Amino acid sequence: MTDPQKVLAERVQQALAAAFGAEHADADPLIRPSQFADFQANVAMSLAKRLRRAPREVAESIRAELSDFPGTVEVSGPGFLNITLDDTWIASEATRMFDDPRAGAGTTTPAQTVVIDYSAPNAAKEMHVGHLRTTIVGDCLARVHEHLGNHVIRQNHLGDWGTPFGMLIEHLLDIGEDAAVAQLEAGQGTAYYQAARAKFDGDESFKQRSRVRVTTLQSGDPETLRLWHVFMDATVRYFNKVYEMLGVTLTDADIAGESMYNPMLEKTCQDLEAAGVATVSEGALCVFPPGFTGSDDKPLPLIIRKSDGGYGYASTDMAAIRYRVHDLKADRILYVVGADQALHFRMVFAAARLAGWLPDTVNAEHVQIGMMLGKDGRRFKTRSGESVKLMDLLQEAIDRASAAIADRGYDETTREAITHSVGMGAVKYADLSVNHDSEYVFDFDRMLGFTGNTGPYMQYATARIRSIFRKAGRSPAETTGPIVLGEPAERALGLHLLGFGETVEQVAAQSEPHRLCAFLFETASLFSSFYEECPVTKEGVDPETSAHRLALCALTLRVLETGLDLLGVPVPERM
Ligand code: ARG
């Protein structure tokens, strides 16, 4: 454990127990960053009330128990404990981080099985910009949990089933398999869908055929299933192109689409009905989880079988949650899905708890993704009002990145690699650096900026450290400690770096990637100040100081690169 706040908390708690008895060992020591020291502990004030003693006196007693503390502790004001850590303690903890492959991020013990439902585009419609955020945020959370040693099971809950597939398959037969495959692989799913839809609306016999096809699909007719596979495989190949472009870790093995649950739906309904959790209301099978009412104060139904006998989105999610708990043995299930589905998930979770399918020991959490807005503050769309095609958007990011670094004199291959990293890094970082549940304005100019809390700025920060090593004729990987801290800017950077592991753990606990972005941005800023004030390899710097500073550079690079990798932001060697 290197996080200074955690170390302090533990030490102060030990002091509380020693001074006032073991029953106080669990009191929150209330450690906060301080203006006057590294940290302050405010526990004396709250404890004084309970002990009916003067706060300053309580603070003094705590301080007396901290005599062997690696730093100075002062009592100030009404009873604050101002705590300043010794430089040598910070330096030795920082040196220890060097030898740790996780850069100070602990492992969760015991390891948890974390099921992460993310991306989940719909096959019948094109993958659009709304799926970008769920994909990027979900992928970051998967990486973070894996880094912490958890067992991550990715579930790409593709919209790959349901009534539209009747018309999609009939359209495939009309235009021929090869033409359909070519169109779908090229990412023209929307055009394909619209063509099918137009026939469905305008052509009675096509409509009739489509309806029949839905039934044959659902009854498992082998030829219909083959056609469904032709359609889906081509669609998934296109999704994979997008994932590859983004550097997202999802593979075909992670696909667990709606179709997968089809064979379980009947039993799902039967079991819920037999258990008395679901009841038939107006012909539909519904669960009425307590506490959910509509505007008319009537209980709100979660419909798990429609009155025509068909199954819908909620049916599938009920089967899925049971499968995830029972078969996948999840300890935690994260649903990284748009915020507009909040009510749906609250009801699914409540219904699953009622059914006993989601025990109290398992957490189901909706990681709400806010809407992506255009610069006009409205839902992000093309000028003609259509939803923006994801591939086009990503390509534009790369093109713009290319223009930004055009004049830097790299050969073609290097430039392409940098351009790709910068373009994708910009889009992904922009997405991750804002709170996932707030709406956010998609703005190329801002996200591609080389200053501020942006992907390119963070990438540049790492490239700059790498160039320091090139100049020094050393490689960061060969650099070893010890880290020795002298100047205030060195000390501030070293102290900050120690918080990396705790930040990663927080990101996992709260599902909040933006905290990691904020930490890395602060790291880069502190590094800049350090680099301005403390020459590393300049002439006149003695070799020993230079070695210590290079070690600090190497640790900073490790933290930045590890952090960016957890975000899924690529890191070019040069920029
Ligand atoms: N396909 C859905 C959509 O695009 C998201 C699915 C999310 N996951 C789930 N288990 N419902 O809105």
Measured from the CA of 159, which atom of ligand 1 is nearest? 1
* CA of residue 111 to ligand 1 center, whole Å: 27
The CA distance from 555 to 553, in Å, is: 5
* CA of residue 276 to ligand 1 center, whole Å: 27
Measured from the CA of 122, which atom of ligand 1 is nearest? 1
The CA distance from 156 to 556, in Å, is: 35
Q: What element of type H or E holds 140?
A: helix 130-147
Measured from the CA of 341, which atom of ligand 1 is nearest? 12
The CA distance from 104 to 7, in Å, is: 13
**Cα-based angle 344, 347, 349 (whole degrees, multiple of 5):** 110
Average pLDDT, the chain: 93
Atom 8 of ligand 1 has which residue's CA nearest to it? 157
pLDDT at residue 565, rounded to an integer = 97
* CA of residue 569 to ligand 1 center, whole Å: 24
pLDDT at residue 1, rounded to an integer = 55
* CA of residue 242 to ligand 1 center, whole Å: 18
Atom 4 of ligand 1 has which residue's CA nearest to it? 121
* CA of residue 215 relative to chain centroid, distance: 39
Query: Tens digit of pLDDT for each residue in 177-197?
Result: 999 999 999 888 888 999 999
Query: Tens digit of pLDDT for each residue in 295-344?
Result: 888 999 999 999 999 999 999 999 999 999 999 999 999 999 999 999 99
Measured from the CA of 131, which atom of ligand 1 is nearest? 4
Q: How many CB atoms lie within 10 A of CB 90?
A: 26
* CA of residue 120 to ligand 1 center, whole Å: 5
pLDDT at residue 273, rounded to an integer = 97
Q: Which tokens belong to 389? A: 């095609």
Rounded to 5 degrees, φ, ψ at 257 are: -75, 175
pLDDT at residue 178, rounded to an integer = 97
- State yes or no: pLDDT of 100 exceeds 90: no
* CA of residue 55 to ligand 1 center, whole Å: 54
Query: Tens digit of pLDDT for each residue in 102-152?
Result: 788 877 778 999 999 999 999 877 667 778 999 999 999 999 999 999 999
Query: Tens digit of pLDDT for each residue in 487-536?
Result: 999 999 999 999 999 999 999 999 999 999 999 999 999 999 999 999 99
* CA of residue 539 to ligand 1 center, whole Å: 59
pLDDT at residue 294, rounded to an integer = 87
pLDDT at residue 432, rounded to an integer = 96
The CA distance from 329 to 65, in Å, is: 45
Q: How many CB atoms lie within 10 A of CB 46?
A: 16
Measured from the CA of 320, which atom of ligand 1 is nearest? 10
Measured from the CA of 130, which atom of ligand 1 is nearest? 4
Please give the model's pTM, rounded to 2 decimal places: 0.94
Ligand 1 pocket test, candidate residues 133, 157, 235, 348, most atoms within 8 A of CB: 157
Measure Cα distances from 256 to 99, 222, 386, 407 in Å: 39, 20, 29, 45
Ligand 1 site, CB within 6 A: 117, 120, 122, 157, 159, 317, 320, 335, 337
pLDDT band at 455 (very low <50, low <70, confident <90, very high): very high
Ligand 1 pocket test, candidate residues 337, 343, 367, most atoms within 8 A of CB: 337
pLDDT at residue 289, rounded to an integer = 96
